[in-house]
Structure 1
Amino acid sequence: MPEIVEMQTPYCSNLDKRKLCSFDLEVIEGPTKPLLHEASRFLLINKGKGKIRIQNTEYDLEPGSFVAILPWEISEVPEVSETLQYYILVYRFDMINEIIKSFYNSDNQPMDVIHMICENQVVHCDKEQMAEVQNIFSIIRNEVGVESTIEPIHPKALSNIYINNQLVNLIVLFIRIGEKDQLFSQREAQNLNIDRCGIFRYIYTHLNKKLNLKTLSKTFYLSESSISLYVKQVTGLSFSNLIDEMRVAKTINYLLYTDFTLEELAGILGYVDASHVSKVFAARIGMKANEYRKTYQKVSDICKVRESQKAYAIVAYIYRNSRDELTAKSVAKNFHISVIDLHQILMYEVEKNFEDFLNYIRVNQSCKLLLQSNKSIIDVAIEVGYNTEKTFTRNFLKFKMMTPGIFRNNVTYQQTGLSVDAEKILTERGRGQKPGLTIERG
């Protein structure tokens, strides 16, 4: 039975949820585990050699390799022969794709950007192309800063317009390089399988329709039970919960960058009505949709935080009050700072934004309750601060890579503390490793 695949955040930045794009530098020395990406990204390989697998198709990586990963695709690096160093741009594909179709497609020609990118998701730049791509990455870096340095960037005039233009340029460059790239001939034909079919991508691009397992079964020539089982094995979510997860990711984009009403969003994204939007969004995010829009559309710009004592006080406050109904806005207000400042402080101190830090605390507290008591999962969820079992399970999956029920049934607690295997399963997740305990999944 395959491991549940870790699901990446839908946000481009952990510091500022409004960002359309973030830039960072990454280095990997060995193979990585599979990741399911909610946000799209470009990678530009500067040094090293290895292989990357996207949607079960394997590509060679070397200096000059230009990689495109779309929303709801699975990627992993199965081989690193020389340490890989690369630039990474995480961006909101839906918004850029809409800009291309609405503003750049002046003659209204049919345009399927997703299909053109998927023709070949790793292309190789020659010397001239590499210089051109590097220049665009550099321009974006100067506009948005480097994510991992947690340095505040003061916005420049018309910055979003400038960044959008650069991202459009990158997409056009990627597609043009791919037209001439010889990597097509290196790809071996592979047997059709569920992963390669791109079921996640199909669902994501058809959320405005009334999707169900019967429709997908006819589209992909697979049984409904096969599709349902695959979704559960890969994400840990049921089919309906996966659709809710995807819709929430798209809803966030519209809340941040448009003035559509919830009723209008319901029609665009396939919800039943405005109340359905509110219900699903609140269950997943822990905040009402309109409140989320007010919080993140009106927060002030990132500024430097000089009071180090305040940072420790904030961390302690969240930890001691994690079982209460905390929100980023309420904590920020309590300490007389902006929500963006709060995220910045926490990223510096604990390497997590507010939501991730709060859920991390709650999930760790729940582990002891699950192992030392006979309380039901919903009772444990409520005791550590969650309003619903779904929200609890979703966050438990994120941090422990298994459901609370599987954790309770497969981990033991000794008088002196967690068993050796239990300690491994709780700590290795934090280091990005696969759990050391073999777990049978039904």
Structure 2
Amino acid sequence: MPDIVRMQPLVRSRLDRSKFCSFDVEAIDGSTQPLIHQEARFLLINKGEGSIVIQGVRYALRPGAFVAILPWEITEVTEVLSPLQYYLLIYHFDGVNRLIKSFYNADNEPIDIIRMLTNSPVVYCDKYQTERVRECFLTLRDEVGVESTLTEGEAQPLSSVHVMNQLVELMVLYMRIGKNTSPIFGKKHLPVDKSEIFRYIYTHLNEKLTLKTLSHLFYMSESSISLYITQMTGLSFFDLLNEMRVGKTANFLLYTDLTLEELAEIMGYVDASHISKVFSARIGMKMSEYRKTYQKVNEICKFSESRDAYALVAFIYRHYAEELSAQKVAERFHISSTELNRTLMYQVEQNFEDFLNFVRVNRACELLLTTDRTVMEIALEVGYHNSKTLTRNFLKQKVMTPGDFRKRITLQQTKNPL
């Protein structure tokens, strides 16, 4: 059985979930493992040469390469001939897509952004085009800051409007550069790859999706599709479906005032009760609490003394098994949820949810090796509501299930006693 493919987190910013996009600068000097991206990305290659595989197709990376990655696409840097340095934007694709079609498309021109970016995920800019694209990236950097250095953008009037305008401009530049440089831009000219299954599911979440439907579309048996999904993600078909729906639901909670009934209808749930149950099980808090926690907070509180930051880390570490949420912990320490995440990033290089899950999963590892309790019992003891939530977070951190962890570590200890 092949190794499970890692999933990038379902966040645009580890500091502030409410951000529409985040900016960073990254550099790599070697090939990478395959990744499943839950959020959309734009990359602009500044230096270096190499190759990237997107949805099973190889593309050259060089200065001026402009890369568009959509949610639930699989990428892998397979070759680095000289160290690559690039700008990275992680952004809310559904928001940009709706914005272009609803407000910017005054002429009602037919626009299929998903198809264009799907069929042509890399375009190559000349010197003039590169500078225009780079200017958009740097403008966004000035607005939202730099993620890896915890640098905030300078506060400006109508910042969110400016951010969305720049993302729309980037999208327009991408499509124009592609159309002007390639006669086949936006046209599919290669066989369909199995990895397209993930993107198809993501773009049809409001429909009644079944393995039978996917079987007809991708010319694979239902069992083969089910096995492929599990091998790639560690999740069953229905768990993956819920994972994707919860991600989209979270964005609707942040950027709209839709009711639970309206969200249930949009996202393909049975009713408001169903969507509430699934969301709470996956995220660990009620939808109303999530919306309240991660909406923009106007006042930013600062720590007066560094000992408060250590007290915050200690509190989470000692109370991980309790019903904790970013909002509750932030209120306890009289700060905003954004400042809570910023403080944790400085102290432990993780935001609240990542750190809490890190502590819980590590404690679960101890219990798996030192007790004979079931996965469900361990899940409840470390603070999760069910075994699925533990398994989902375990997969993200350890890239294996709790059951596999217990078997593999036990086998290693038996063969190599210390």
Q: TM-score range by the shorter chain?
A: over 0.9
Higher mean alpha-carbon deviation, 360-369 vs 154-163, is at 154-163
2:76 paired with 1:79: no
> Matched residues in 2 for 1:280 and 1:86: separation?
37
Deviations 1:24-63 (A, max 9, x none): 0001011111111110000000001111111111101011
Paired position in structure 2 for 1:48:
48
Identity of aligned residues (%): 58
Q: Aligned residue for 1:119?
A: 119
Q: 1:245 aligns with which of 227, 243, 246?
A: 243
Match of 2:295 among 297, 309, 319: 297
Q: Report whether the alignment pairs 1:320 with 2:318.
A: yes
1:40-439 aligned at under 5 Å gives the runs: 40-181=40-181, 192-195=192-195, 198-297=196-295, 299-302=297-300, 304-412=302-410
- Deviation of 1:104 after TM superposition, in Å, equals 1.2
Q: Deviations over 1:54-88 (max 9, x none)?
A: 11111010111110000000111111110100000
For residue 435 of structure 1, what is the aligned residue in structure 2?
A: none
Give the distance between the partners of 1:43 and 1:410, measured in 2 at CA.
Answer: 38
Offset at residue 107 of structure 1 (A): 2.5
SS in 2 for 1:379: helix
SS in 2 for 1:76: strand
User: Shift in Å at residue 412 of structure 1?
Assistant: 2.2
Structure 1 residue 306: deviation in Å?
4.1
Q: Unpaired runs of 5+ in structure 1? A: 424-442
With over 3 angstroms needed to count, the CA separation of the structure-2 counterparts of 1:301 and 1:27, relative to structure 1, is: farther
1:241 alignment partner AA: D
Q: Which residue of 2 aligns with 1:440?
A: none
* Counterpart residue identity of residue 111, structure 1: I
Check whether the contact 1:412–1:422 (CA below 8 A) recurs between aligned residues: no
Number of equivalences:
417
Q: CA deviation at 1:118?
A: 1.8
Pair 1:337–1:280, CA change in 2 (3 A): same
Q: Secondary structure at the match of 1:215?
A: helix
Partner of 2:8: 8
Question: What is the CA distance between 1:298 and its match in structure 2?
Answer: 5.2
Per-residue deviation, 1:327: 1.1
Q: Which amino acid aligns with 1:409?
A: K
For structure 1, which segment, 104-113 or 246-255, has the greater mean C-alpha deviation from structure 2 after superposition?
104-113
Q: Name the CA distance, whole Å, in 2 between partners of 1:347 and 1:36.
A: 24
Deviation at 1:373, TM superposition (A): 1.1
CA distance 1:264–1:422, shift in 2 (3 Å): farther
Farther-moved stretch of structure 1 (2-11 vs 336-345): 2-11
User: Counterparts of 1:419 and 1:124 in 2: how far apart (Å)?
Assistant: 54
Question: SS of the residue aligned with 1:10?
Answer: coil
Cα deviation digits, residues 114-157 of structure 1 (max 9, x gap): 00112211111101100100110111111001011113345311
Q: Distance in 1 between matches of 2:303 and 2:82?
A: 39
Whole-Å separation in 2 of the counterparts to 1:66 and 1:301: 37
Q: Contact 1:22 / 1:89 at 8 angstroms: preserved in 2?
A: yes
**RMSD of aligned residue pairs (Cα, Å):** 2.2
User: Can you give the 5+ residue segments of structure 2 that lack an aligned partner in the other structure?
Assistant: none
- Post-superposition shift, 1:192? 4.4
The answer to whether the Cα contact below 8 Å between 1:300 and 1:340 also exists between their aligned partners in 2 is no
Partner Cα separation in structure 2 for residue 314 and residue 413 of structure 1? 38
Q: Is the 8 A contact 2:28 2:84 kept in 1?
A: yes
Q: In structure 1, what is the Cα distance between the partners aligned to 2:375 and 2:208? A: 31
CA distance in 2, matches of 1:146, 1:189: 37
Are the counterparts in 1 of residues 330 and 337 from structure 2 also a CA contact under 8 Å? yes
Distance 2:193 2:123 in 1: 24
Structure 2 CA distance for aligned equivalents of residues 162 and 422 of structure 1: 60
Distance 1:379 1:275 in 2: 26
Q: Which amino acid aligns with 2:82?
A: E
Asked if the contact 1:23/1:145 (under 8 Å) is kept, the reply is: yes
